[in-house]
Amino acid sequence: GDSVTQMEGPVTLSEEAFLTINCTYTATGYPSLFWYVQYPGEGLQLLLKATKADDKGSNKGFEATYRKETTSFHLEKGSVQVSDSAVYFCALSDGGGADGLTFGKGTHLIIQP
């Protein structure tokens, strides 16, 4: 079945540091890929997405590129802020029966001033 693997946290960085959160996936066919962000005590918000190979999703300074050859969708940001502290989830949708999402376990990001 489908699966998503992302780096375990917590990841602690200083403000203005460069961020990479790795995400790799296993799926049949050509899934759509997503990054969701969960701020403390809140639901999940869509951060960005990519629906086909070589697509780049971007939002709020975050970027991720759909790499079919390496089955990866790594999240990057050039200069993080304290307000970026949250849990980040990588997910895929393969358009199967439920057409729901398969999630990674989440990466807790802590940005220190």
Nearer to another protein, 68 or 105 (CB): 105
Q: In what order do the strands lie in the sheet with 75-77?
A: 19-21, 75-77, 62-65, 56-59
Could you say whether residue 57 binds another protein (CB under 8 A)?
Answer: no
Nearer to another protein, 12 or 14 (CB): 12
What span, in angstroms and rounded, lies between the C-alpha atoms of 103 and 96? 15
Burial of 32: CB neighbours in 10 Å, binned 0-12, 13-18, 19+ = middle
Binding residue (CB under 8 A) for another protein from 21, 106, 109, 111? 106
Residue 78 CA to its chain's centroid (Å): 15
Binding residue (CB under 8 A) for another protein from 46, 53, 82, 110? 46
Residues 65-94 touching another protein, rule: CB under 8 A, are 89, 93
Point out which residues bind another protein (CB under 8 A): 32, 34, 36, 42-46, 49, 51, 89, 93, 95, 97-101, 103-106
